[in-house]
Amino acid sequence: MPRALWGRAAFSWAPPCGGEDHRWARDNARSGGGQVEDGVFSLAVCARIAETPAMKKSLDHLPLRKQAELRQVVETVRAAFEEAISTRRAARLKDGKILKVILYGSYARGDWVHDPVGRYFSDFDLLIVVDHEDLTDGEFWHEAENRTMPIGPDIRTPVSLIVHSLDDVNEQLDRGRYFFADIVREGVLLYDTPGAKLQKPADLKARVALEEAERHFEKWMASAASFRKVAAFCMSDDEPNLAAFNFHQTAEHLYHGVLLVVTLYSGKAHNLAFLRKKAEVIDPRLAEAWPRETKFERRCFELLREAYVKARYSEHYKISAEELAWLTERVDVLRGLAMTVCQERLGQLRDEADGAD
């Protein structure tokens, strides 16, 4: 099973450090260790404090336009975060800090997709590392997500944020979790804070990975099946909105299942567009579940995406029998594809575990 989401090469930009470290970085850049442009170094704060040597420190593989966008995204996210915590009273919140911003995924590897015809555009995938678990709550990041929407002249690329505390990331690295280990090995350090160290990724035993993946498979496939049954009951009981909500939950649980079985990681997300994109990068076959050539097809998926909130709380949410019938068919296709992807991954893990025993 190809782990396309977590791939090959990765690079980074970060703001300069100060004092002696600033002068060291400047001298190193002039001697060939990096570039200086308008006071910004293509070095991760300073190489002497980069605790993870494998992390790249250059964005030179990206077009200049993309480099400028990433700088703008980092500045925008930091500014929005500072505003979000400025009114808080608890010290752990008002004094909270972004410790790292790491680019991962296709833009880190250099295999991003920009396909206007197929309506597919790769995201800037960013891991935000903060200094307290409470700061990972979505309320601190809603504004950052709004401000980084690709609707203005400075940011044209979709941005996808995930937020974890430093302690959590290091715990995952100590456990050898693929997702975080690959980010550390291949990621692009865009912003860094001196002293915020990441652990060296541990090796994850194949048998342990298999057992965890099997638990995820059983849990998430079972819950998806339960929501599918409820959706069918709601349709028979002439409750279209509740049926739409339960179809949303079916699809959400299928996507979480795929992500967890293949990578042992899935963030706290309900947005089906976000989950679909992450899962389809892992295995493009999953895109077959959602044709998107016609307005009807795109509208139906949007109705499903909106169902998580609007189908329950908005009096204006309406979905027709025809749209529900189409969603029934496509969710069932998604289930079949998700089962295939997960079972193939489990088979791979069983082979690895048997070979290691």
Percent of the chain with pLDDT over 70: 85
**Does 63 score more than 80 pLDDT?**
yes
**Does 116 score more than 90 pLDDT?**
no
Mean pLDDT of 105-134: 91
Range with the poorest average pLDDT among 16-20, 56-60, 108-112, 301-305: 16-20
**Does 3 score more than 70 pLDDT?**
no
pLDDT confidence of 54, banded at 50, 70, 90? low
Mean pLDDT of 137-150: 95
**Does 26 score more than 60 pLDDT?**
no
**Does 118 score more than 50 pLDDT?**
yes
Q: Structure pTM?
A: 0.79
Could you give the C-alpha distances from 217 to 64, 106, 189, 221, 325, in angstroms and in order? 42, 26, 33, 6, 27
